[in-house]
């Protein structure tokens, strides 16, 4: 099997069907599997424990991330929650403060009730990150590029800090995808994906995944997957596998379009700040260049206007749909303070540097001139 990413995306985990010759991996829409004698299975017993579509997707994602083991979940958050379930009461987690709002909500509102402790730190300031470690710190939680400000954490350097303290590092790789960044190669123990986003790419599935090279962790995650039960259905796994076949083509276009949008916004008089790791003005542009193949399809910006006018702008675009989520072929935009990060308390948002005027763009793969025209027209109506 050739090892290039584009080839693996189409072949890994999905041989032609030996029974029928079907070139597409069939959907095994079943809840259970016949046994030849009690306990004598053909490899599958019950579809929560394992089903062929999930297994195929797990192999495919493993091949793309350079991981020996993959585990798929019903959502990115179900995957995140399984990761936290590796811990026990009394454990402390150091997490980046600029993370997915739903992960912050799960950490601060649910898991903190079970005796786990979370400290949120600046994802860029590694000295502060190192200082947050305590004797009971057992996990470092990274998300890079981060959500929504596209901060970049130096993955290898952060992993070195965690290793020194004997803590595991989890890295949410949703924004980059394995095409742009492979955190396991940089020392991360577990990679997390919301496969809902770029991996599926077509905006029609909710699902998540964890990848690791650690045999013991993989076994524990499989146990948790089966025991907690947040598993994806076979149709969803099938759709994600279909989406992944075009991942590299889509990502190349997302990256090209996002760069054009970032450059357009950076030069626009009504735009205050643009957050895009591909701009040389980005705080960690050099780190992004070192650890990523390209800079991704997400761009965030602060407009030079009131919060009300920023929200009006977000409601005015025609090509960009005002919607939560990201990483789909269609351009989407959101106002994090009232949408994806509404579950983060206003004072915590301020403390974490997330302003109420920030707009987040998930730049799609439409023609870039149309994308930029849409933004230009919507910006014209922003009062200056």
Ligand X SMILES: *Cc1c(COP(=O)(O)O)cnc(C)c1O
List residues near ligand X by CB under 6 A.
75-77, 100, 102-103, 143, 147, 172, 174-175, 194, 196-197, 206, 208
CB of 242 to ligand X, least distance (A): 17
Q: Which is nearer to ligand X, 150 or 382 (CB)?
A: 150
Q: How far apart (Å, rounded) are the C-alpha atoms in residues 137 and 116? A: 10
Catalytic residue among 91, 154, 172, 374: 172
Q: How far apart (Å, rounded) are the C-alpha atoms in residues 323 and 354? A: 18
CB of 67 to ligand X, least distance (A): 18
CB of 172 to ligand X, least distance (A): 5
179 a catalytic residue: no
Q: Which is nearer to ligand X, 155 or 382 (CB)?
A: 155
Give me the phi and psi of 271, to 5 degrees please.
-110, 130
Catalytic residue among 54, 97, 149, 197: 197
What CA–CA distances, in Å, run from 180 to 174, 195, 309, 369?
Answer: 10, 15, 34, 24
Catalytic residue among 6, 44, 48, 252: 48
CB of 332 to ligand X, least distance (A): 12
Cβ-closest residue to ligand X? 76
DSSP reduced 3-state for 118: strand
Q: How far apart (Å, rounded) are the C-alpha atoms in residues 76 and 230? A: 10
Q: How far apart (Å, rounded) are the C-alpha atoms in residues 173 and 335? A: 22
350 a catalytic residue: no
DSSP notation for 119-147: EEE-SS-HHHHHHT--TTEEEEEEESS-T
CB of 200 to ligand X, least distance (A): 10
Q: Which is nearer to ligand X, 83 or 94 (CB)?
A: 83
Q: How far apart (Å, rounded) are the C-alpha atoms in residues 272 and 83? A: 38
Q: Which is nearer to ligand X, 106 or 301 (CB)?
A: 106
- HSE on the CB side for 290, CA within 13 Å? 11
Q: Which is nearer to ligand X, 266 or 329 (CB)?
A: 329
Give the residue numbers marked as catalytic. Answer: 48, 100, 172, 197
């Amino acid at each position: 099997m050739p090892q290039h990413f584009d080839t693996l995306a189409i072949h890994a985990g999905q041989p032609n069907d030996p029974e029928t010759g079907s070139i597409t991996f069939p959907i095994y829409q079943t809840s259970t599997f016949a046994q030849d004698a009690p306990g004598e299975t053909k490899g599958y017993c019950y579809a929560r424990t394992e089903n062929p579509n999930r297994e195929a997707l797990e192999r495919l994602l493993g091949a793309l991330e350079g991981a020996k083991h993959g585990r798929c979940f019903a959502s990115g958050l179900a995957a995140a929650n399984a990761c936290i379930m590796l811990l026990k009461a009394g454990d402390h987690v150091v997490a980046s403060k600029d993370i997915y709002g739903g992960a912050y909500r799960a950490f601060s509102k649910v898991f903190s009730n079970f005796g786990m402790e979370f400290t949120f730190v600046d994802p860029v300031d590694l000295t502060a990150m190192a200082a947050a470690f305590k004797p009971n710190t057992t996990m470092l939680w990274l998300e890079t590029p981060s959500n929504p400000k596209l901060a970049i954490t130096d993955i290898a350097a952060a992993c070195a800090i965690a290793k020194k303290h004997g803590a595991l590092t989890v890295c949410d790789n949703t924004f980059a995808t394995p095409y742009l960044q492979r955190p396991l190669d940089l020392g991360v123990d577990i990679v997390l994906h919301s496969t809902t986003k770029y991996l599926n790419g077509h905006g029609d599935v909710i699902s998540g995944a964890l990848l690791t090279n650690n045999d013991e962790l993989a076994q524990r995650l499989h146990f948790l997957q089966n025991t907690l039960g947040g598993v994806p259905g076979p149709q969803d796994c099938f759709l994600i596998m279909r989406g992944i076949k075009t991942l590299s083509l889509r990502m190349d276009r997302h990256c090209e379009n996002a760069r054009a949008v970032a450059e357009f916004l950076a030069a626009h008089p009504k735009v205050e700040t643009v957050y895009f790791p591909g701009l040389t003005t980005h705080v960690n542009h050099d780190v992004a260049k070192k650890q990523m193949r390209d800079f991704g399809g997400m761009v965030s910006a602060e407009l030079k206007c009131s919060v009300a006018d920023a929200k009006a702008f977000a409601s005015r675009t025609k090509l960009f749909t005002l919607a939560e989520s990201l990483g789909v072929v269609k351009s989407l935009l959101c106002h994090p303070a009232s949408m994806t990060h509404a579950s983060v308390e206003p004072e915590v948002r301020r403390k974490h540097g997330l302003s109420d005027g920030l707009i987040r763009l998930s730049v799609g793969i439409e023609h870039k001139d149309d994308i930029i025209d849409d933004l230009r027209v919507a910006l014209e109506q922003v009062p200056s």
